[in-house]
A = this chain, B = another copy of it.
Amino acid sequence: MPETITIVGAGMMGTALCWPLCDNGHTVRLVGTPLDEEIIHSIRKTGVHPKLERKIPATVKTFLCDELPGALRGAGVVVNGVSSFGTDWFVEMVAPRLVPGVPVIAVTKGLHVLPDGDVQPLPDFIAERLPAGMHEKVSLNAIAGPCIAHELAVRRQTCVVFTGHDLSILRSLKSVFATRYYHIRMSTDLKELEICAALKNGYALGIGIAVGMFDKSGSDGLAQMYNPQAALFAQSCLEMRLLIKALGGKEEHASWLPGAGDLYVTVYGGRTLRLGRLLGQGFSMAQALDQMAGVTLESVEIITRLAGALLVLEGRGLVQSGQFPFLQFLDGVINHDEPVAFPWDRFCLV
Contact = CB atoms under 8 A, between A and B. Distances in A.
Interface of A: 145-148, 150-152, 154, 156-159, 183, 185, 187, 220-222, 224-231, 233-234, 237-238, 241, 251-257, 259-262, 264-265, 268, 342, 344-345, 347-350
A77 to B, nearest CB: 22
A48 to B, nearest CB: 13
13 contacts: A146-B227, A148-B227, A154-B221, A157-B228, A157-B231, A157-B342, A159-B227, A159-B344, A183-B347, A185-B348, A231-B261, A233-B260, A234-B261
B226 A264 contact: yes
A150 B241 CA distance: 31
Contacts of A261: 230-231, 233-234, 237, 348
A259 B220 CA distance: 28
Contacts of A344: 157, 159, 183
A257 B234 contact: yes
A241 B231 CA distance: 19
Count this chain's copies in the assembly: 2
B350 A264 contact: no
A228 B158 contact: yes
A254 B151 CA distance: 28
Given A151-B225, A157-B344, A225-B156, A260 B231 contact: no
A227 B265 contact: yes
Residue of A237, A251, A252, A261 ringed by the most chain B CB atoms within 10 A: A261
Contacts of A262: 230
A265 B255 CA distance: 16
Residue of A147, A227, A251, A261 ringed by the most chain B CB atoms within 10 A: A227
Given A252-B251, A254-B255, A257-B348, A183 B222 contact: no
Contact of A159 (B146, B154, B347): B347
A344 B344 CA distance: 37
A229 B264 contact: yes
Contact of A148 (B224, B234, B265): B224
Contacts of A187: 350
A291 to B, nearest CB: 24
Contacts of A185: 348-350
Contacts of A230: 146, 159, 257, 261-262, 264-265
Nearest to A250: B350
